[in-house]
Amino acid sequence: MAKKTRILMAKPGLDGHDRGAKYIARALKDQGYEVIYTGIRQTPESIVQTALQEDVDFVGLSLLSGAHNELFPKIVELLRENDAEDIIVFGGGVIPEQDIPVLKEKGVKAVFTPGTPIDEVVDFIEEHTKT
C-alpha cells in the first residue's frame, strides 16, 4: 500500500475568509492527497497538535488578515519544539512580497500569493514529498 501524502490545511488566527483554503483543499484532494481541514480560528498550538496527531507531511497555512508575520513563524517554532521540523510548512493569502524572505528564513518553505496557479502548489508538494 503506497504511502499517501497527508496535508493539513489550516487557518490560523481570526481571519474567517476560507474560500482559498477550501479551494486548495479540494484541488489537492483531486490530486490524490489526503487533506485534513480544521476550519477557521485555529491557534498555532491546535494547528501543531493536529499536525502531530495526523502525522502530516505538510502544513498549509492560509491567512488574509495580515497576522502572518506573527503566526506563521510561531507555528514553525512549535513544530520544532515538538521534534517535528520534518513537517514542511507552506503558506498563502494576502502576504506582501517583502515579507516572504523573512518568513522563509524563519522556516516557511514556500509562500503562494494570490494568482498562483494550483499546479505550482502541486509541483511544490510533489517535489518535497519524501519517498
Q: Which residues bind another protein (CB under 8 A)?
A: 1-4, 13-19, 22-23, 25-43, 45-46, 49-50, 52-55, 65-71, 82-84, 94, 96-98, 113-115, 117-119
- The CA distances from residue 47 to 3, 40, 42, 64, 66, in Å, are 22, 11, 6, 17, 18
Report the distance separating Cα 116 and Cα 98, nearest Å.
17
Q: Measured in Å, how far apart are the chain's first and last C-alpha atoms? A: 13
22 backbone dihedrals φ, ψ, rounded to 5°: -70, -35
Q: Which C-beta is closer to another protein: that of 90 or that of 95?
A: 95
Beta carbon of residue 62, minimum distance to another protein (angstroms, whole number):
12
Q: Which C-beta is closer to another protein: that of 41 or that of 104?
A: 41
Beta carbon of residue 83, minimum distance to another protein (angstroms, whole number):
7
Q: Which C-beta is closer to another protein: that of 33 or that of 58?
A: 33
